[in-house]
């Protein structure tokens, strides 16, 4: 597993063994970041179900200023910390040990907003609709912000069309599909 592009391009990342994490493959990561960016002019990112931190670190490499990683597993958090130290990006990262829904609620109370939210949970164990509803209710995605969802091809992503538009969707193989949603601009 490696960083695909940007200032950290080619750098190797640590990953967990067994069922600790299921990192996004390099080819999928390259394809989806190409659709989302491919590079960012600053901004903030929320990496839910962060695992090894691979997606959030890729965002930093491509120009995101700061990433908040959310992960429940202490083993995965150790891996994220190792990767941050290995790549010397600790000043651009925060790690929250929490479940995704609770973390979103806390971030909403803190009035945090993000340009990019990465959602890559253990497949078929996450309630994508509930998570998207919590993100919507909390107002944590900036106008025109993106949400990246990685999921099983069997999982239908249901979202509010008044709040999001489908920016991109693709099935990569028998186990992985991705959906990118874009926040609709709210006029006040």
Question: Does the pLDDT value for residue 22 go beyond 90?
Answer: no
CA distance 113 to 115: 7
CA distance 51 to 68: 12
User: pLDDT tens-digit profile of 165-179?
Assistant: 999 999 998 888 999
- First vs last C-alpha separation in the chain: 43
- For 96-114, the DSSP string reads EES-HHHHHHHHHHTT--E
pLDDT at 93: 98
pTM of the entire predicted model:
0.94
CA distance 105 to 108: 5
The structure tokens listed for 178 are 């991705």
Question: Does the pLDDT value for residue 131 go beyond 60?
Answer: yes
User: pLDDT tens-digit profile of 36-86?
Assistant: 988 999 999 999 999 999 999 999 999 999 999 999 999 999 999 999 999
Structural domains of the chain, with CATH: 33-183 (3.40.50.150)
pLDDT at 26: 86
Residue 12's DSSP bridge partners are 2
Closest CA relative to residue 16, chosen from 69, 70, 54, 57: 54
Interaxial angle between packed helices 54-61 and 26-36, expressed in degrees from 0 to 180 and rounded to the nearest 10: 50
Say which residue the tokens 């009035």 belong to: 111
Average of per-residue pLDDT values in the chain: 91
Q: What is the mean pLDDT of residues 146-156?
A: 92
CA distance 54 to 52: 5
Question: Does the pLDDT value for residue 185 go beyond 80?
Answer: no
CA distance 171 to 101: 26
């Amino acid at each position: 597993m490696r960083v695909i592009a940007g200032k950290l391009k080619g750098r190797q990342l640590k990953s967990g063994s067994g069922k600790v994490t299921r990192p996004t493959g390099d080819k999928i990561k390259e394809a989806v970041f190409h659709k989302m960016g491919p590079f960012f002019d600053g901004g903030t990112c929320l990496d839910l179900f962060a695992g090894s931190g691979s997606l959030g670190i890729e965002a930093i490499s491509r120009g995101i200023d700061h990433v908040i990683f959310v992960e429940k597993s202490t083993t995965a958090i150790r891996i994220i910390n190792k990767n941050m130290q290995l790549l010397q990006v600790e000043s651009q990262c925060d790690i929250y040990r929490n479940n995704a829904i609770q973390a979103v609620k806390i971030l909403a109370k803190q009035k945090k907003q993000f340009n990019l939210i990465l959602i890559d949970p253990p497949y078929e164990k996450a309630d994508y609709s509930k998570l998207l509803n919590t993100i919507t209710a909390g107002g944590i995605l900036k106008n025109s912000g993106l949400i990246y969802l990685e999921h099983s091809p069997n999982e239908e992503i249901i979202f509010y069309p008044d709040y999001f538009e489908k920016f991109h969707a693709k099935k990569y193989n028998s186990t992985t599909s991705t959906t990118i949603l874009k926040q609709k601009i709210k006029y006040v």
